[in-house]
Structure formats: structure tokens, C-alpha cells
Structure 1
């Protein structure tokens, strides 16, 4: 299930989900953008069988339907394989939905919620670009335009990569690591707080 060539731990992993319907537990795709000490991104995504119906609205949004996930693994199998990777470094989400979706899916399937250190790239973006408040905002749609990001919105892998790029751009903009921008947990994740690469040159 994990792609070959991954080299954890990373400075951080950006993470995104898509859902089959309005229920946050109905995860049908997970995306990962693994960022190393030099700012290189290893990007992958996988489909998840939510074992429930897709809404027409959600399928229109992300293009995933029941036929595409018929032979995909169920959430318990996916989270069992990926939680150990995710737990080794901060997990970046753009807004808090992804964290809620994982918790909801764990509850739905009777699983313990994995102990992950979640970081919100919306908060990072707000601190890096306060001028966007009331002037486009800090959603991925506006940041795509403002930061000249190239990605396909509402694909979990693409959105995860975009969230990773937002963090890296914010570090360049502020001259600080994202942990320093958030001013929290620096001692817990020294790799994230003190990258070996020099993003500010």
C-alpha cells in the first residue's frame, strides 16, 4: 500500500481526504505530500472504499464514484498501514476537516484514533499573509492564484501537495520554519523546527 522509496521521518507530511458524501467518515481518497529536510516533496494518493453510497454532488466535485473504489481497501486497512508513517512527524492539513474525517472514520469503524500531531496550514497562511484576510482569504483556491501554485483542486494528492507548498512558501515569506511560525511544539519536533535545507536564500 505504501509506495516504494519513502524515507521517513520527514519534516512534515501534508495530508488531504476526499469523501463519498456529506458524512465526514466516508473517506474515499487520501493524499500525502511528504516533505524532506531539503524541501523536496514525495507525493502519493490512494483510493479508499467507504462502504457506503456516493452523493452526486461529491462525485461531481472530485470525480470519484463507487465503481472506482469497488476493489479499493477499506479504511481500517488503510489507516493501519499509514498511521505509523503519519505519526513520525507533524501532519499538515489545510483546515481542520481532514483531522475530523479521520477521527470520524475511526469512530465509525470502532477503531482508536491514532495519536497524530496535526498542524493547520490555514493558520500558517494567515500569519504569513495577513493581507489576504478580506481580500481573497486563505483557502486553497485563492492561495493557488496568489502564490502561483499549480495543482488540480479536489484531488487528495494534489491538495496535499498544495498544502505542503503553502507551508514552504510561508517559511520563505517569514524567514521562519512553520513550527516557529506557530510558536508551538518546537522541542517535540526539532527536525520540523530546524530544517537542514536553507529555504530563505
Structure 2
């Protein structure tokens, strides 16, 4: 289920989900973009059987339907495989929906929610590009255009990679690690993690 060529631990992992319908627990695809200390991104995605009907609206949005997920594993199997990898470093999400979806799916299936440290790349983007407020905003759609990112929106793997690229671009623009950016913003910084970010100068 998890690619054999991954090289953990990573500096952070960006994570994204797609859902089958309006229910947050109806996860039908997960995507991970694993970023190492040199900025290389290892991306993969998995289809998930949501065991729920697909809405026409969601299928039109991401192109995934019941037929595509017919032989896919259900969420309990997927999260059991991913949680050990995800728990080793901060998990970047673009907005809070992905964290809420994982929590909702765990609750729906009667599972304990994994102890993960979530980081919001929207907060990081707001710190790096305050000029986008009221001028396109900090959603992936506008950031794709403003930062010249190349990805297919509403594919979990592609969106995860885009969120990872947003963090890397923000670090390049500010000259600081995302941990320092969050600390400056007043957000809760990640716990102590494996990281090679000593080359960044602290904020004054």
C-alpha cells in the first residue's frame, strides 16, 4: 500500500483527501507529499472505498466514482498503514478540512484518532504573502497562479504536492523555516522533529 521507495523520516508530509459526498468521513482518496531535508518531494496517492454513495457533484469535481474504488481498501486499513509514517513528522494540510475528515472517518469507523501534529499551510502562506489578502486570497487555486505551481486541482496526490510546494516557496521567500514562520505568526509550532533547518536565521 505504501511505496517501497520512500525514505523516511521526512522534514514534513503534506496530506490531502477527497471525499465521495458532502460527509467529511466519506474519504475516497488520500494523497501524501513527503518532503526531505533537501526539498525533494516523494508523492503518492491511494484510492479508498468510502462504503458510501458518491454524489454527482463530488465525482464531477475529482473524477472518482464507485467503480474506481470498487477494489480499494476501506479507511481503517488505509489509516492503519499510513499512521506510523505520518506520526514521524508534521503533517501539512491546506486549511483544516483534511484533519477534520480524518477525525470524522475515525469516528465513523469507531477508531481512535491518530496522534498527529497538523500544520496549516494557509497560515504559512498568509505570513509569506500578506499582499494576497483581499487580492486573490490564499487558496490553492490562486496560489497555483500566483506562484506558477503546476498541479491538477482536486486530485489528492496533486493537491498534497501543491501544499508542500507552498511551504517550500514560503520558506524561500521569507528565508525562514516553516516552524519559524508559524512561531512568528503566533501559531503553535510543531513539536521537536527530525529536521535539517539550521541554515535558517531566526526571526529578529
TM-score exceeds 0.5: yes
**Aligned equivalents of 1:197 and 1:45: distance in 2?**
31
Distance, in Å, in 2 between the alignment partners of 1:125 and 1:86 is 22
Map of 1:38 onto structure 2:
38
- Measure how far apart 1:103 and its partner are: 0.1
Alpha-carbon distance between aligned partners in 2 of 1:105 and 1:143, rounded to the nearest angstrom:
29
CA–CA separation in structure 2 for the residues paired with 1:7 and 1:197: 22
Compute the displacement of 1:185 (Å). Answer: 3.4
| Partner residue in 2 for 1:176 | 176
Q: What is the match of residue 192 of structure 2?
A: 188
The question of 1:90 aligning with 2:94 is answered: no
| Residues paired across the two proteins, number | 196
Asked if the contact 1:124/1:167 (under 8 Å) is kept, the reply is yes
Gaps of 5+ in 1: none
- Unaligned runs of 5+ residues in structure 2 are none
Q: Match of 1:141, SS?
A: helix
SS in 2 for 1:69: coil
Distance 2:147 2:9 in 1: 27
Q: Distance in 1 between matches of 2:5 and 2:58?
A: 32
Q: Contact 1:49–1:73 (CA<8 Å) still a contact in 2?
A: yes
Give RMSD over aligned pairs: 1.3
Query: 2:153 is matched with which residue?
Result: 153
Name 1:138's counterpart in structure 2. 138
When normalised by structure 2's length, the TM-score is: 0.93
**Pairwise CA distance, 1:98:** 0.1
Question: TM-score, normalization: structure 1?
Answer: 0.95
Matches within 5 A, 1:15-34: 15-34=15-34
